[in-house]
Amino acid sequence: MGGRMKKPPFQPEGSPQIYRRAVSASRVGLLVQAGLTVAMTLLSLYAGSPALTGAALHLGGGLVVWAILLILFHQHRIERVEAMEAERFAAAEPASAAPFDQRADELNLARNRLQHLYRWGLGAASFAVAIHLIVAGGLLLRSAAHAWSQTTLVTTALRDGVDTAAIMAALIAIAFVGFVVARYQSGMTQVAQCRLLRGGATYLMGNVLSVLLCFVGAVAAHYGEPAPLAYLGGFVIPACLLVLGIETLLILLLSFYRPRRPGQVDRPAFDSRLLGWLTSPQSIAEAISDALNYQFGFEVSRSWFYQLLSQWIVPLIAVGLAALIALSSLVIVAPHEQAIVTRFGAIVGQPLGPGLHVKPPWPIGRAWKHPAGRVQQVYVGSDPVPQDPSRPLLWTGSNVPKGDYLIVAPTPLAGQAPTAPPGRPSPSAGQGLSLVGAQLVVQYRVTDTAKYLSTAEDPTQLLAALADRATNACFLTKDIDTLLGSGRAQAAAELQTALQAEVDRLGLGLQILFVGLTSVHPPDEEGVAAAFLEQIDAQQERAALVESARQEAIETLASVAGSREEALQIDRQIIELQQLAEALDQAPDDPTTQSLQQQIALKEAQIERLLIASRGQAAQIVYEALADRWQRVMAERGKAERFRFELAAYRTAPRYYRASQYLKALADGLSGARKYVVAVNRGLPPTFRLDLKDAASTIDTVFTQPQ
């Protein structure tokens, strides 16, 4: 070949037979990987276990690994065949082959494809495997976290009624087949041309580990303890998938910056360095040394630092373990916390207060801390999710909690519905209960940390369950009108008392500080909440009218009698007077009549005194009547006395009395007219002298009568 040929990222050596065996091994690995994936998928569908699902997803990622290895070794075999044919052609016809030296790269198509596979195929396959592992691990962890929050992680670890013995047998068979094939593939990596098979063998050995973890969980579930299988499937296996995926992705990114030697075959990123020692016949230290040498591009294991570290690694590990054991013997308790120390699972001593304390080292002794000094709270009810306090909670609003409604007692109006005719359903049918949405907050404080941590596995969850049960029991005795109105605070107080009694009975070591109904609302479906709002508006209008009438009554009574109390007292006396009058009308004999008349007189006098003593319109009317009566009596009495004296004067001098009365009448009659005194002589006619300049001295004034 000519000198212009680019150097490939691999060393083209070996015979086609070697690569043919590698192709056969890759084909076997792909078929076994596919078969195990199908078997594990069917087994996970049968068992309904997240752990088996995670192992099946892990197995599925190996299909990409074996597929790219099969394609790569197949292309190697084709490249070797083309290279050998080109060499034979060049040896047989040197002169005729010379013109083709300049275009050898273009004619050798297999080598070009192989270069592209090394340059892009392995990276794409590694990226696909990394994304598959990261996505699968993330989804499984998310599902496990949701199940943990809903307390269904252990209950959904394995489907009810499955044959755990059959699952164990199937898992052992899958692990055995995978282990045998992985060891067979790793044995072929001793041949330099087949070294890439190590990536497939490593991945398959990792599958065997995940299957064995599932087997351990299945054994525990077989003996009635599904928790290990739940934790393995919920957290351990997904975490392993995430770690392997992140490792593959990091190695793929670092491979862009790793120094390369000409003709050196790149180790694919899906060939996990963490799992490499499981399939490598070398020791762990040698595997680590080879990995470091490969990554840095030079013999790191021959440096002085590596030699020094290899000599002192055991003492350093021992010192580190001793330091960890010493640190595990110290307990730092915060100011708001208390700690309980256990020795082999049993509580020893009293709760530890804030400060630095010493305990037996782990795993002999452990310290369990809890914020005993803080006020904690849980939410229960139809929607036990805290609401945003900055947003108003309207019955017909979009932020009304959508949860399961609570059952409450029927309203008093439910029993007042009219009865139905015979043969027809009662109108009150279906009114025996009501539904209401409510959210309660329970604030509590830990008073005995030892009881709190030892009585129940999850005391907070138990408290929430107790509060929920107490809420349902209390609401069954309250109607919805009471809970929406004045009985809300009373219901909360009853709940606090009942919950504290239940907590004390179970010995949880808690003090219930406050129970509050943060929200109570009718159902929002089918316009129920809107109907309640209309009813409340009507009740408010009615209350406003009643209050206005009460105010008007108070004003009327106060204006009449000075105050409401005095008016009511006078009203009671008047009612008693009316009762005495009715009794008088029905009196059978005279003694009873006289007694009733005396009582009526006394009652009238008492009423009159009350009216006089009051400061309202009634007292004013009474005083005005008394004044008018006094004035009229005195006036008539004066007239009578005057008539008596005038009669005496008439009897003494009748003529004088008549003359004086006549002159008085004239004086009264002429009081508004001008008077003239005319002096005349006897026998002579009268003479009138008038001043006509005076308007009042006219003839009309003299000869006319005043109007």
DSSP annotation string for 569-612: HHHHHHHHHHHHHHHHHT--SHHHHHHHHHHHHHHHHHHHHHHH
- The residue extents of the domains of the chain are 16-296, 330-370, 540-615, 637-703
Q: What is the pTM of this model?
A: 0.43
Task: Reply yes or no on whether the pLDDT at 499 is more than 50.
Answer: yes
Give the Cα separation of 213 and 232 in Å (integer). 7
**Chain centroid, CA 142 distance in Å:** 20
Question: Cβ distance 132 to 61 under 8 Å?
Answer: yes
Tens-digit pLDDT profile for residues 342-370: 877 777 777 887 888 888 887 778 887 77
Tens-digit pLDDT profile for residues 547-566: 888 888 888 877 777 787 88
**Cα angle 309, 312, 317; round to 5:** 100
Q: What is the predicted pLDDT for the residue at 2?
A: 35
Give the Cα separation of 593 and 587 in Å (integer). 6
Q: What would the mean pLDDT of 278-291 be, rounded to a whole number? A: 53
Q: What would the mean pLDDT of 187-210 be, rounded to a whole number? A: 82
Location of structure tokens 């009507």: 538
Q: What is the predicted pLDDT for the residue at 3?
A: 35
Q: What is the predicted pLDDT for the residue at 429?
A: 42
Spatial strand order in the sheet of 365-370:
346-352, 338-343, 365-370
Q: Which residues contact 308 (CB under 8 A, 6 or more apart)?
A: none
**Chain centroid, CA 587 distance in Å:** 77
Please tell me which residue, 91 or 17, carries the higher pLDDT value: 17
Lowest mean pLDDT among 124-128, 307-311, 634-638: 307-311
Give the Cα separation of 547 and 541 in Å (integer). 10
Lowest mean pLDDT among 32-36, 130-134, 536-540, 677-681: 677-681
* CB neighbour burial string for 197-218, b if at least 16 within 10 angstroms, e if fewer: bbbbbbbbbbbbbbbbbbbebb
Query: Could you tell me which of 224, 15, 249 has the C-alpha nearest to residue 127?
Result: 249
* CB neighbour burial string for 501-531, b if at least 16 within 10 angstroms, e if fewer: ebbeebebbbebeebbbebbbbbbeeebbee
Q: How confident is the model at residue 6 (pLDDT cuts 50, 70, 90)?
A: very low
Lowest mean pLDDT among 38-52, 96-110, 227-241, 302-316: 96-110
What's the residue count for the chain?
Answer: 707
Tens-digit pLDDT profile for residues 448-474: 887 877 777 778 888 888 888 888 888
Give the Cα separation of 531 and 663 in Å (integer). 92
H, E, C per residue of 32-53: HHHHHHHHHHHHHHHHCCHHHH
Q: How crowded is residue 331: how many other Cβ atoms within 10 Å of its Cβ?
A: 18
Task: Reply yes or no on whether the pLDDT at 414 is more than 80.
Answer: no
Q: How confident is the model at residue 428 (pLDDT cuts 50, 70, 90)?
A: very low
Tens-digit pLDDT profile for residues 202-227: 888 888 888 888 888 888 888 777 88
Query: Could you tell me which of 143, 137, 169 has the C-alpha nearest to residue 156?
Result: 143
Lowest mean pLDDT among 130-134, 381-385, 428-432, 482-486: 428-432
Q: What is the predicted pLDDT for the residue at 36?
A: 92
Give the Cα separation of 26 and 463 in Å (integer). 58
Tens-digit pLDDT profile for residues 77-127: 777 777 777 777 666 655 555 544 544 554 467 677 777 777 788 888 888
| Phi-psi label, residue 507: left if phi above 0, alpha if psi -120 to 50, beta otherwise | left
Question: DSSP of 132-183, one letter per residue?
Answer: HHHHHHHHHHHHHHHHHHTT-TTTTSS-TT--HHHHHHHHHHHHHHHHHHHH
Give the Cα separation of 109 and 82 in Å (integer). 9
Give the Cα separation of 403 and 376 in Å (integer). 23
Residue 146 structure tokens: 């949701």
Task: Reply yes or no on whether the pLDDT at 263 is more than 60.
Answer: no
Task: Reply yes or no on whether the pLDDT at 38 is more than 90.
Answer: yes
Q: What would the mean pLDDT of 189-208 be, rounded to a whole number? A: 82
Residue 508 structure tokens: 């949880």
Average pLDDT over the chain, rounded to whole?
76
